[in-house]
Structure 1
Amino acid sequence: MSGEPSAPVVDVHAHVLLTEVEDEVSGAPGLRAQLELDLLRQGAESSAVSGRMVAERMHRLTDLDARRRDMDAAGVHAQLLSPSPSQYHYWAEPGPAWTVALAANRGVAATVAADPARFHGLGLVPLQHPELAAAALDDALDRGLAGVEISSHAPRPDGGTVELSDPRLEPFWQRAARRGAVIFLHPFGCTLGARLDRFNLANTVGQPVENAVALSHLIFSGVLDRHPELRVLAAHGGGYLPTYLGRSDHAWQVRPDARECAHPPSSYLRGLWFDSLVHTPEALRALVAAVGSDRVLLGSDHPFDMGVTDPVDRLAAAELSAADQHAISTGNAELLGLAPRVGRDRNKQ
């Protein structure tokens, strides 16, 4: 890291792996079928590489001392912890799905409680069962978590799909808006399927596609019109959407079937939040130009290989103004209630 930050730095995109969740699903009906589907979509070679990568980084996903060492090396004071997206387990039927969500909420809350000065947390909801989502969100918030992490869609056990525009999710969005919950949109899996089964395309291309699709569902369906107080934070800089919204605006102007939202799609960027994980200085400058520096927060995807170990240095490399850098690294997290709970004394555990 190239120097000490002038204010506490918050990383809003960092993952934990929860053994209590894996214990709940071990041997459960449906898990094997989901793993086989994941293998089909990712391909054997990419799946093998990912498996070795996770094994090598397991201690950084589960051990707080290892995590704090990584944070200190990167110049990060606080992290917003979210479960590894592999632990969504959207294949589960209602009973097991509820158990998974509560186990995740308990696990993240316990991790945060072990060092509340440096960690905030997000839980899970069973998105594939919309009727349970609001109650699971309440459970997460009542445990002191900042909100929940969701994927871009949820493939239901019965073969259907829950998109974020699904009317059955209205109670969930209403509850999230009323309680000020952070909803971290982080895709897992891509509906392009086996077309992305090599070269790690399921992640490299699939994740930005899924971000764009999910955000488009929220925008075009009017969810953000009905719930303007929603605090949706999109991983990976929102994927392909923020810097290519001119086409969406054009569709809104010329297509009657694209007019369920009250305003041009680009106008909704100012009501969303985005992490900074876009990998190049040019892409970060483009994201800031599209959404405003007050809507971008630092993100690393710690500790996975598609993340970065130097998010603060990468922010500096974009050569934004000092005010913009402060907003992204510190100020915007404070606006979302994610500021470090103590000063910058890193010896306090």
Structure 2
Amino acid sequence: MTARPSPATSVARSSQPGHRLPPAAAGGPFPTVDVHAHLLIPEVEALLAGLPGLAEARDLEARRNGPAALAVNGPMVRERIPKMTDVTVRLAAMDTQGVDVQLISPSPSHYHYWADEETAEKLCRLATEATAAHCAQAPDRLRGLGLVPLQHPERTVRALDHALEQGLLGVEIAGHAPGRELSDPAYEPFWSRAEQTGAILFLHPFGCTLDDRLDRWYLSNTVGQPTENAVALSHLIFSGALDRHPELKLIAAHGGGYLPTHIGRADHAWRARPDAGAGCAHLPSSYLTRLYFDSLVHDPHVLRALIGAAGADRILLGSDFPFDMGTENPVGALRAAHLPDHDFHAVRGGNATTLLRLT
């Protein structure tokens, strides 16, 4: 299967809704690929309705965000539901953005890591199968990721296998589960299976454990999300998980948060303190070139710094489609960084074409 049609096919399909060749695709030999796009699955929330633990989880989310943010979040999400549920609407939006292919993951609001084992397994199967069905409606434009019950490590391998059996490329995970960091040894079988199968892992936080310290001015997202990314990646690096699993294909959302552009402090600690350097074999900064990061950092200076830290070959276009904390013009945001042509096209789609095996 080829992600980008031949010129002749492009002309033939140009009049069909959702199949117009976006202008950005003419800028290089690769399709334009957005690796950070979401799907809303109402059936997941219906599955959990009335279950013990749901009200408590929602209360925690409300406390973390604060009333002002919640008053904005509700209308914002409702306005965007068609883009997250209707394939025709999604494809039209992609055409407007100049995006050829999206890698779709369930909305992180569907994690529900409070759920018991049986419920969590049902939830992940439902989310995974719904994502596969959504992508199957436009298989040349859409790829997908499933979910795993991160709060139940013993069930993660089975859930990952199910996602791959459904034709998805891997799974989306948060930066931690209640009482467990990603450095927890209980996840070793999961990392091993992901490495063995070549599955893609998309690290996307949801909620920050700084809780109500961030309950104003949407700090829960603007500070909380990059903090959670930095903590999660630090656990993977300093624990030696990336030494034990060097072939993991892990994409960190939001440019990896604060870690890539502040990695010098981690390097200093690794050199200066035996407790900091005990778990990983190499300088923390060296692991950035083993990871992938999306380009969604909202600042061309930060994007260039991210490329300087990880390499242009490890950065992938990301928009956080269709949420308001994303960008409606991911290619334009990339152009604003004024990268060399080779780096621009690598980030625009060349790197993702290889990683997602689009050709």
Aligned-pair CA distance for 1:89: 0.6
Counterpart residue type for residue 215 of structure 2: D
Q: Paired residue for 2:227?
A: 209
Task: From 299, 302, 317, give the equivalent of 1:280.
Answer: 299
Q: Is the 8 A contact 2:66 2:212 kept in 1?
A: yes
* TM-score normalised by L of structure 1: 0.94
Residue in structure 2 matching 1:78, options 89, 101, 123: 101
Residues matched between the structures, number: 335
- In 2, Cα distance between the equivalents of 1:41 and 1:5? 43
Could you tell me which amino acid in structure 1 is paired with residue 257 of structure 2?
G
Unaligned runs of 5+ in 1: 156-160, 342-349
Q: Which residue of the other structure, out of 234, 246, 249, is the alignment partner of 2:252?
A: 234
Q: Contact (CA 8 Å) 2:31, 2:350: kept in 1 or not? A: no
Q: Which residue of 1 aligns with 2:6?
A: none
Aligned residue number for residue 193 of structure 2: 175
Letter in 2 for 1:306: M
Among 318, 331, 334, which residue is 1:315 paired with?
334
Q: Which residue of 2 aligns with 1:344?
A: none
Kept after mapping to 2: 8 A contact 1:5/1:75: no
Query: Is the partner of 1:209 in helix, strand or coil?
Result: helix
Match of 1:220 in 2: 238
Distance between the aligned counterparts of 1:199 and 1:319, measured in 2?
Answer: 31
Q: 1:249 and 2:278 equivalent? A: no
Give the match's secondary structure for 2:342: helix
- 1:27 correspondence with 2:50: yes
Counterpart pick for 2:218 among 192, 200, 206:
200
User: Is contact 1:285-1:318 (8 Å) kept?
Assistant: yes
- Candidates 298, 321, 324, aligned match of 2:343: 324
CA distance in 2, matches of 1:212, 1:124: 21
| Equivalent residue number for residue 111 of structure 1 | 134
Q: Pick from 299, 306, 318: which aligns with 1:299? A: 318
Which residue of the partner structure matches residue 99 of structure 1? 122
SS of equivalent residue, structure 2 residue 282: coil
Q: Distance in 2 between matches of 1:258 and 1:116?
A: 45
Instruction: Give 1:2 deviation, angstroms.
Output: 7.9
Does residue 269 of the first structure (1) align with residue 303 of the second (2)?
no
Q: Secondary structure of 1:256's partner?
A: coil
Give the distance between the partners of 1:330 and 1:77, measured in 2 at CA: 9
TM-superposition CA deviations, 1:80-123 (whole Å, max 9, x none):
00000000010101110111111011000111111100000000
- Once the two structures are superposed, residues 276-305 of structure 1 have per-residue CA deviations (whole angstroms, 9 ceiling, x without a partner) of 001111111111111110000000000000
Aligned 8 A contact 2:148 2:159 in 1: yes
> How many angstroms does 1:314 deviate by?
1.1
Whether the 8 Å CA contact 1:211–1:234 is kept in 2: the answer is: yes
Q: Is the contact made by 1:14 and 1:79 (CA closer than 8 Å) also made in structure 2? A: yes
Quote the residue 2:8 is aligned against.
none
> Of 124, 148, 159, which aligns to 2:147?
124
Question: Are 1:120 and 1:338, in contact at CA under 8 Å, matched by a contact in 2?
Answer: no
Give the match's secondary structure for 1:116.
coil
State the secondary structure of the residue aligned to 1:8: coil
Q: Secondary structure at the match of 2:144?
A: strand
Shift of 1:5: 3.3
CA distance in 1, matches of 2:288, 2:161: 27
Identity among equivalent positions (%) equals 59
SS in structure 1 at match of 2:143: strand
- 1:338 Cα deviation after fit: 4.7
Asked if structure 1 preserves the Cα contact closer than 8 Å seen for 2:204 and 2:252, the reply is yes
Question: 95-104 or 3-12, which moves further after superposition?
Answer: 3-12
Q: SS of 1:258's equivalent?
A: coil
1:346 alignment partner in structure 2: none
The one-letter code matched in structure 2 to 1:184 is: F
Query: Are 1:289 and 2:308 matched, yes or no?
Result: yes
Residue 27 of structure 1 aligns to a residue in which SS? coil
Structure 2 counterpart of 1:182, which letter? I
Alignment of 1:150-189 (within 5 A): 150-155=173-178, 161-189=179-207
Unaligned runs of 5+ in 2: 1-21
> 1:23: how far off?
2.1
Q: Is the 8 A contact 2:41 2:106 kept in 1?
A: yes
Q: Is the 8 A contact 2:261 2:302 kept in 1?
A: no
Q: Are residue 135 (structure 1) and residue 158 (structure 2) matched?
A: yes
Note the alpha carbon deviations across 1:261-285, whole angstroms, 9 max, x for none: 0001000011000000011111111
Aligned residue for 1:14, secondary structure, equals strand
Paired letter, 2:348: S
2-side partners of 1:291 and 1:134: how far apart? 29
